[in-house]
Amino acid sequence: MEDLPEPLLGEIVKRVTKTSDLNSLSLVSKQLCTVEAEHRDAIRVGCGLNPSTKALVSLFSRFPNLAKVEINYSGWWPSNGNQLNNQGLCVLSSHCPSLSDLSLSFCSYIGDSGLGYLADCKKLRSLRLNCAPAVTSTGIFHVAVGCRHLSVLHLVDCTTVDSRDWLEYLGRYGSLGELVVKDCNGISQYDLLKFGPGWENLQKFEFEINGNYWMSGASDPSYVSGYPYRYDICYDSLKDLRLAHIITEPETGLRFLLGKCKALETLYLEYVIGLKENEMIALFQRCSNLKTISLRFMPLQCEDYWFRTPLTDVSLKALALSCPMLQVVELTFTLCEPMYPTEIGFTQEGIVSLVQSCPVRTLLLNGASILYDEGLKCLSSSQFLENLELVDCRSITDAGMNFITLAPCLSNLTLRKCKKVTDNGMAELARSQKLESLTVIGCCQISQEGVQGAAKSVHYSAETESHDSLKGMNMDRDMNRKRRRSP
């Protein structure tokens, strides 16, 4: 290989994608080591990065064309050595002139002065900060001013960042296409209104609060009670929207995003308190391009004084009629007691009708105690359903497994905490020989031996693994149980 021309070696290196393979390739010869270093444009390092200035200079000098850098200190202990600090970001910015994508996770020793060095990275387009407790709004503002091409900004668990200056600056002078704000205590949904004209270009937006979000006393300072109220903001470009764990009020806060969205392709609403069915129906009727929807609910007191999830089959009918491109559906019902089926606003018939009316390829039902074997029989007539995940669906039995094998396109099935399904149901799947993959987790009547042969690929765990549908739901369960069961 020493005799191969360098351009050909470069083409070979480009086709090797796994980092471990690239590292092995660089050990073959000095020439390959040099070529591989010159062509590598991405690197990911973790707790093994014990930086001194000299070590960082050596690392970034070896890979002069890095465009994407990810540094993640998850699981770090002091015994792992020193973390990346502000001086390390100085080395990074001065030795990586092509840097366009930077992710920093659990970097406790970087602060505003470190982000100030990133302002010299004129090609930086994406910055993701996850758990950066020393970073404040000052550091974000430095990046906003210095990196004029910044199009992606993620702030996750940045507890000392507030909305001062940077948000308004990016909205007025920036070109953000993607903004994610999660667990930043200093930024409320009303602060995000400072983004102003920036909403016009935004294509993806996520906002999430965890912890005691239902006790938040923040309010929109610009709202005037008793007067018609609208935000004069354009957001026709928004394609991907996720709101999680917030309280909405009429005409205020991030509720305005549900008002006039037309281009939405992906919608996630997770435990949003205050949703109204009429506005959701209006939203569905406008979003004909919607392809993915995830709705996660818990029962709350509605206008009719019943405690139930806020949407009913009327919403599902509007969704089916208005969104002919819908392919991915998740419906999660948390803290809904099976003995009170009316706590779920949807019915089995409404869910089945939605799946049969749209080209739904992926369906996830979590906590759907209203789904019975007969419902699976009806779902089996879907001509598009390929992936089905059932979580804590307590009414499903082995008979349902027999029905679901009739689905013409179903190839991937996941069962979590489905307590009435047994090895006999798995035997039905094995006889059908239709599934490509089967995942069984926390189903107490299914054994490891029972799943053998039920699909070409099988993953089994007797223990209940974590599932993110309960993220942020660490409220006192009794709070949700102290309620009237009838009007």
Residue range 224-237, pLDDT digits in tens: 565 544 566 777 89
Query: How high is the pLDDT of residue 345?
Result: 94
CB atoms within 10 A of CB 193: 22
- Measured distance CA(203)–CA(242) in Å, rounded: 12
Return the percentage of the chain with pLDDT > 90, whole number: 63
Quick check: 295 pLDDT over 90?
yes
Give the domains, in start order, of the chain with CATH numbers: 1-40 (1.20.1280), 333-487 (3.80.10.10)
Mean pLDDT of 36-65: 80
Where residue 252 falls among pLDDT bands split at 50, 70, 90? confident
Strands 307-308 and 300-301: antiparallel
**Sequence-separated contacts (24+) of 452-456 with Cβ below 8 Å:** 454/426, 454/427, 454/429, 454/430, 455/413, 455/429
In the structure encoding, which two tokens stand for residue 412, read together? Answer: 């991937």
Q: List, in order, residues 6 or more apart from 174 with CB less than 8 Å away.
A: 144, 148, 150, 198
pLDDT band at 261 (very low <50, low <70, confident <90, very high): confident
At 56, is the pLDDT very low, low, confident or very high (cuts 50, 70, 90)?
confident
The answer to whether residue 426 scores a pLDDT higher than 70 is yes
- Selected residue with higher pLDDT from 369 and 37: 369
Q: Mean pLDDT, to the nearest integer, of 343-365?
A: 97
Rounded average pLDDT over 52-56: 81
Q: Please state the rounded mean pLDDT for residues 172-185.
A: 94
- Tell me the average pLDDT of the chain: 87
145 - beta bridge partners? none
Confidence of residue 485 (pLDDT cuts 50, 70, 90): very low
Among 47-51, 154-158, 413-417, whose mean pLDDT is lowest?
47-51
Per residue, the 3-state secondary structure of the chain, as one string, reads CCCCCHHHHHHHHHCCCCHHHHHHHCCCCHHHHHHHHHHCCEEEECCCCCCCHHHHHHHHHHCCCCCEEEEECCCCCHHHCCCCCHHHHHHHHHHCCCCCEEEEECCCCCCHHHHHHHCCCCCCCEEEEECCCCCCHHHHHHHHHHCCCCCEEEEECCCCCECCCHHHHHHHHCCCCEEEEECCCECCCCHHHHHHHHHHCCCEEEEECCCCHHHCCCCCCCCCCCCCCCCCCCCCCCCEEEEECCECECCEHHHHHHHHCCCCCEEEEECCECCCHHHHHHHHHHCCCCCEEEEEECCEECCCCCEECCCCHHHHHHHHHHCCCCCEEEEEECCCCCCCHHHCCCCHHHHHHHHHHCCCCEEEEECCCCCCHHHHHHHCCCCCCCEEEEECCCCCCHHHHHHHCCCCCCCEEEEECCCCCCHHHHHHHHHHCCCCEEEEECCCCCCCCCCCCCCCEEEEECCCCCCHHHCCCCCCHHHHHCCCCCC
Which pLDDT score, from 0 to 100, does residue 486 have? 38
Confidence grade of residue 474 (pLDDT, cut at 50, 70, 90): very low
For residue range 433-453, list pLDDT tens digits in order: 999 999 999 999 999 999 999
Inform me whether the pLDDT recorded for 214 exceeds 90.
no
pLDDT of residue 483: 41
Backbone angles phi, psi at 428, to 5 degrees: -65, -40
Q: With cut-offs at 50, 70 and 90, classify the pLDDT of residue 290.
A: very high
Q: Is the pLDDT of residue 476 over 70?
A: no
Distance separating alpha carbons of residues 429 and 350, to the nearest angstrom: 26
Q: What's the rounded Cα separation, in Å, for the pair 230 and 252?
A: 8
> Do 438 and 455 form a contact (C-beta atoms < 8 A)?
yes
Longest dimension (CA), the chain: 84
pLDDT of residue 1: 61
Q: How confident is the model at residue 55 (pLDDT cuts 50, 70, 90)?
A: confident
Give the residue-averaged pLDDT of 321-350: 95
pLDDT of 171 above 60: yes
pLDDT at position 224 is 57
CB 276 within 8 A of CB 253: no
What was the pLDDT predicted at 2?
63
Rounded to 5 degrees, what angle do the CA atoms 150, 153, 154 make? 165
Output phi, psi for 21, to 5 deg.
Answer: -70, -40
Tell how far CA 398 is from the center of its chain: 32
Q: What angle do CA 231, 236, 237 make, to 5 degrees?
A: 125
**Cβ burial 303-340 (10 Å sphere, 16+ → b, else e):** eeebbbbbbbbebbbbbbebbeebbbbbbbbbbbeeee
Tell me the C-alpha distance between 422 and 427, whole Å. Answer: 9
Distance CA 263, CA 391 (A): 31
So what's the pLDDT on residue 146?
Answer: 95
Question: Worst-scoring range by mean pLDDT, 58-67, 403-412, 454-463?
Answer: 58-67
Amino acid at site 390: L
In this prediction, residues 81-92 reach a mean pLDDT of 91
pLDDT surpasses 80 at 21:
no
pTM above 0.85, yes or no: yes
Beta bridge partners of 102: 69, 127
CB 185 within 8 A of CB 211: no
How much is the average pLDDT of 270-294?
Answer: 94
What per-residue confidence (pLDDT) applies to 482?
38
Give pLDDT, residue 6.
Answer: 65
Q: How much is the average pLDDT of 126-147?
A: 96
